[in-house]
Amino acid sequence: MKYQDILKIKFLLSGLVGCALSGCFPSGPADSGYLADVGGPVRRQTSGGPYHKPPAIPDDVSYWDGDGVSGSPLIKINRGQQRAYFYKGGVLVGVSGISSGDEDHGTPKGTYKILQMNKDHRSSIYGIFRDEITGQTVNDDVDMTKDKVPPGAVYVGAPMPNFMRFSGGVGMHTGFLPGFAASHGCVRMPHYMAEKFFENVKVGTPVIVE
């Protein structure tokens, strides 16, 4: 082994040891909790260390080629494939990975139309309870159909940016994608895809859920 290679190895090892001693590795297990499960339950870190998101799921599916393309928009959501397809004038111009409703909160099958659009929507059902004075979270997995706001606390709805309602309380919006159906019924999308869908639809756009 060359002398230069030995120096490189020593340098890497010293860097790893120094990093471990200085605390630049996150404390606690990487899957111990996360805050950004938009539109669903938000699990809290229990080890006392910093919060962590799960590792990002590689997105080799989503794309958008619809800029400058004319034609009436149509969205097809395939729950089995966990994909949403965007058409303009019958031409496929975009595909998004999704996370639809889990087995307890299924996304309803059927033919719908977009009923409401809200860029900065928050859930009226799912969210957290926060202490009104300290601002600390006292319950991070709230379901307002079951839970009551405790004395001295306030309800804060889960953020659902780029919300496109199409059936009751169900809609498409920016959210966390764990790689499988995991929402409370809504259709979560990566942020950049939710933005593109939001920018290219209007109230009345057909949505087909298969």
Q: Name the more confident of 9 and 153.
A: 153
Under 8 Å between Cβ of 168 and 161:
no
pLDDT at 209: 98
Q: Name the more confident of 19 and 175.
A: 175
Under 8 Å between Cβ of 74 and 87:
yes
pLDDT at 142: 82
Under 8 Å between Cβ of 175 and 40:
yes
Under 8 Å between Cβ of 34 and 182:
no
Q: Name the more confident of 199 and 18.
A: 199
What is residue 10's three-state secondary structure? helix
Write down the residue that tokens 């804060």 correspond to. Answer: 156
In 10 A of CB 157, how many CB atoms?
16
In 10 A of CB 116, how many CB atoms?
11
Query: Tens digit of pLDDT for each residue in 21-78?
Result: 333 322 222 222 222 333 333 333 333 334 344 555 678 899 999 999 999 999 999 9
The span from the CA of 85 to the CA of 196, in Å, is: 12
Residue 3 confidence (pLDDT) above 50: no
The span from the CA of 22 to the CA of 161, in Å, is: 37
Domains assigned to the chain: 33-209 (2.40.440.10)
Closest CA relative to residue 188, chosen from 124, 123, 115, 140: 123
**In this structure, what DSSP letter does residue 109 have?**
P
Query: Tens digit of pLDDT for each residue in 106-149?
Result: 999 999 999 999 999 888 878 889 999 999 999 988 888 889 99
3-state helix, strand, coil in the chain (%, to 5): 15, 35, 50
- Strand segments (E) across 54-152: 63-64, 73-78, 83-88, 91-97, 110-113, 116-131, 137-143
pLDDT at 57: 66
Under 8 Å between Cβ of 189 and 84:
yes
Residue 173 confidence (pLDDT) above 70: yes
Residue 9 confidence (pLDDT) above 60: no
Query: Tens digit of pLDDT for each residue in 83-114?
Result: 999 999 999 999 999 999 998 889 999 999 99
pLDDT at 4: 40
